[in-house]
Chains A and B, each alone.
Chain A
Amino acid sequence: MLSLPMRLWERVVAHCLDGLPLEACGMLAGQGEQVLEVYPATNAARSARIYTVEPLDLLRADRAAEAAGLSLMGVWHSHTHTSAYPSPTDIEQAPDPGWHYVLVSLSDVEPVLRSYRIVDGRAEEEPVFTPA
């Protein structure tokens, strides 16, 4: 389960829309299953097919999270033309089995946001709650 407050859901989706036509990405910070802050990042790959969180943005997110008493707990990125499901590359390169992996699909009119846990090469969707 992932708790993603609506104001943060909106920031995540807005960052993905801003990034078009390229994939967009950013880091999730919080405690346990609760996202309490999001850190938009630059897609260093500057691609519509792949993403790399700009390393210095990752460092800044880690420090900001720590200063706020939070931990990095996941990453989000957009799929501009495919569904909100992790690609083989996403699964292969998932850096931390403890993280939440949020996908935002922009392939339809309405953005679709889903979250996954990726452990031992398997992606499993988890419910996303969006409290006010």
Chain B
Amino acid sequence: MTPRYLELVCPAGTPAALRTAVEAGADTVYCGFRDETNARNYPGLNFDREEMAEGIRFAHAHGRHVLVAINTFPRPGQVALWHRAIDDAAALGANAVILADIGLLDYASGHHPGLRLHLSVQAAASNTLSLAFYRERFGIRRAVLPRVLTVKEIGALVERMGVEAEVFAFGSLGTMTEGRCILSSYLTGRSPSSDGVCAPAEHVSLSEEDGEMVMRLGPLTMNRFGRDEPAGYPTPCKARLVARGIPSYLFDEPVGLNMIELLPELKAAGVTALKIEGRQRSRAYVAQVVRAFRATLDALDRDGRAPRIDLSAIAEGSKETLGAYRKGWR
């Protein structure tokens, strides 16, 4: 069997990043509206309606696709904002919307039967039954798989899931099950599920104390980094914590996921698309990561192998991991 084309799905936090991603060789770009309907609701980021229309026009002119992430969970009594986002994404010609909430999937499949639906990683569907739920009831065409499966498990799942599989290839990964972690709102009142932010910037503070960089989230200390020790995000799941009297990275170290060396295996496993995380990061990041993955994918297609490109410098904690894609992570 000829391995299928691996679609490279790239982040765009701004219109400039969208253009950068297209120029660097993204097949598909994903982005969100400038409000809490998307899971990267950070200040100064994202697209207003006009910018989204322009971004979609630009990508389509280059033959690329745009996915609109509407992947948070509407708050009680406020679903209208999310419905409007779905209506607008459909009207602007988005190639698909990325959804997580059951109510929104119900709305989108009922009101926009022609709109392609992707299941967000925020829905954390990691087995055939939950995927069957979303496929049979809402007709999802693709699911972004949670970052907790090994390559072998992904292969087994792809055979039975009945929709396209998109997996994370690069970026910061949380160790908690996506969409089911409220540690951020426990400390700050705002979380990825409802507000689209983890460790919101207004609750983060950095300071220098005796050569250490101290990182706080809300009222609590998340980490103290030594003079030249690489740092990570102030997210609770990357905090240095004390259990049984021993300080450690109890949940996960500040490392970035990079499975560029597993691309041949993922391709063989029948994965449809690779997702690069990082809508909160800058154009420079987008350009560098997308170019590296583009070059590797092209080389694999041509020669069946690719030279290793080092991206560790831009990874969280300046360090890379294969995460759960290799057994032993759990």
Q: Do A and B bind each other?
A: no
Chain A interface residues toward B at CB < 8 A: none
